[in-house]
């Protein structure tokens, strides 16, 4: 299945030309929470890191790129946020983890 159109735009925004393949995603899953075991764990966000967020039911989640913090919220760039690539603000209480490509 080809990735959605917003995905390539999101990667281009961060200067990434190719997304990591299954070899870099230990679970081989497209589930957002599978990224909790991807890359290197960070104790605090840094610009460009992946943020894994709680969403919906216990198994659901959302993955986005951290940009900055404003007024105590994380401002992140992601796709499939209102069906487009955009910046969105998230409460820190939703964070499951921060990950950095290793």
- pLDDT tens per residue across span 15-63: 554 555 555 555 567 788 888 988 899 999 999 999 999 988 888 889 9
User: Do the Cβ atoms of 74 and 89 come closer than 8 Å?
Assistant: yes
Chain centroid to CA 71: how far? 20
pTM for the structure as a whole: 0.74
Whole-angstrom Cα distance, residue 26 to residue 37? 7
Chain centroid to CA 2: how far? 19
Which residue carries 């281009």 as its tokens? 12
**pLDDT grade for 1, boundaries at 50, 70 and 90:** very low
Run of H or E including 86: strand 86-91
Per-domain residue ranges of the chain: 5-18+29-100
Higher pLDDT: 51 or 5? It is: 51
CATH of domain 5-18+29-100: 3.90.1720.10
């Amino acid at each position: 299945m080809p990735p959605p159109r917003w995905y390539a735009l999101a990667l281009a925004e961060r200067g990434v030309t190719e997304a990591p393949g299954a070899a870099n995603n230990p679970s081989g899953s497209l589930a957002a929470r599978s990224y909790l075991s991807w890359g290197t764990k960070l104790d605090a966000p840094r610009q460009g890191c992946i943020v894994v967020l709680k969403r919906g039911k216990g198994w659901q989640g959302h993955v986005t790129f951290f940009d900055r913090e404003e007024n105590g919220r994380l401002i992140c760039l992601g796709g499939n946020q209102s069906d487009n690539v955009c910046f969105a603000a998230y409460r820190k209480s939703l964070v499951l983890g921060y990950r950095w490509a290793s």
